[in-house]
């Protein structure tokens, strides 16, 4: 039976089931892509993973698991906020809301993967951010009084430590999410290192929105 494949609104195929298995193994088709029968007009879109079974096609580096997605119900749902709204809130709060949301995502990630250290790293980074702010208050007051401002080397160190530890937190969270969504919930999800570096929490929320849509599709997929 031939299948049409859809990703981000683009259609591909039709492919046979053997084609899908081969393309998933090569990475050209993702387990999170959706497909439907090309012969049946009444067919609904379902994740590719539900057609071929996720256990055989977990990306290398992760142990195989049973393709039983009903087990996903035991895990708490990811923080549900549209990534576009998060971007707006981040903009209007000058980044403050993003800091809070990072802690929320990291706390949730620790619930699904207790070994995750992302929350700890985010908290440590926040401590250095407040320490940097504290060392900068003297310069702020001096600027208000139109006095000379002197660069504080301790503040520079605190600022660098904040950015470094925040990056460590981002990549620790990325590893946590990749491990979970390729083992406990085998959805074949990958997180870009480049996007993680530059966009952090906004990128994570974008991916979590995609995962939520995929899980809803799995929940209502047609039986085979």
pTM here? 0.67
**Rounded to the nearest 10 degrees, how much is the dihedral formed by the CA atoms of 37, 53, 75, 43?**
10
pLDDT digits (tens, 9 = 90+) for 96-108: 999 999 999 999 9
Cα torsion 35, 64, 22, 2: sign: negative
How far, in Å, CA of 87 to CA of 205, rounded?
Answer: 10
How far, in Å, CA of 97 to CA of 125, rounded?
Answer: 15
Structural domain boundaries in the chain? 3-57, 72-219
- Say yes or no: domain 3-57 is CATH 3.30.70: no
Asked if residue 68 has pLDDT above 50, the reply is no
12 versus 149: the higher-pLDDT residue is 12
Asked if residue 4 has pLDDT above 50, the reply is yes
- pLDDT for residue 177: 95
**Contact, 13 vs 4, CB < 8 A?**
yes
Asked if residue 139 has pLDDT above 90, the reply is no
> Which two structure tokens, joined as six digits, stand for 158?
């605190």
Q: Which residues pair with 46 in a beta bridge?
A: 35
């Amino acid at each position: 039976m031939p299948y049409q494949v859809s990703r981000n609104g683009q259609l591909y195929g039709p492919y046979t089931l053997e084609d899908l298995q081969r393309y998933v193994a090569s990475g050209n088709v993702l387990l999170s892509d959706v497909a439907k029968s090309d012969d049946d007009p009444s067919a609904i879109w379902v994740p590719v993973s539900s057609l071929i079974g996720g256990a055989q096609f977990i990306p290398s580096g992760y142990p195989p698991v049973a393709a039983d997605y009903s087990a996903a119900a035991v895990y708490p749902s990811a923080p549900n906020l549209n990534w576009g709204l998060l971007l707006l809130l981040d903009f209007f709060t000058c980044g403050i809301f993003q800091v809070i949301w990072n802690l929320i995502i990291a706390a949730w990630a620790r619930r699904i993967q207790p070994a995750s250290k992302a929350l700890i790293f985010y908290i440590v980074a926040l401590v250095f951010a407040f320490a940097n702010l504290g060392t900068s208050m003297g310069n702020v007051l001096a600027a208000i009084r139109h006095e000379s401002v002197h660069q504080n080397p301790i503040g520079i160190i605190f600022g660098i430590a904040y950015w470094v530890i925040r990056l460590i937190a981002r990549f620790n969270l990325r590893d946590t999410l990749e491990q979970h969504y390729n083992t406990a919930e085998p959805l074949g999800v990958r997180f870009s290192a480049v996007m993680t570096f530059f966009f952090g929490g906004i990128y994570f929320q974008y991916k979590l929105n995609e995962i939520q849509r995929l899980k809803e599709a799995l929940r209502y997929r047609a039986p085979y």
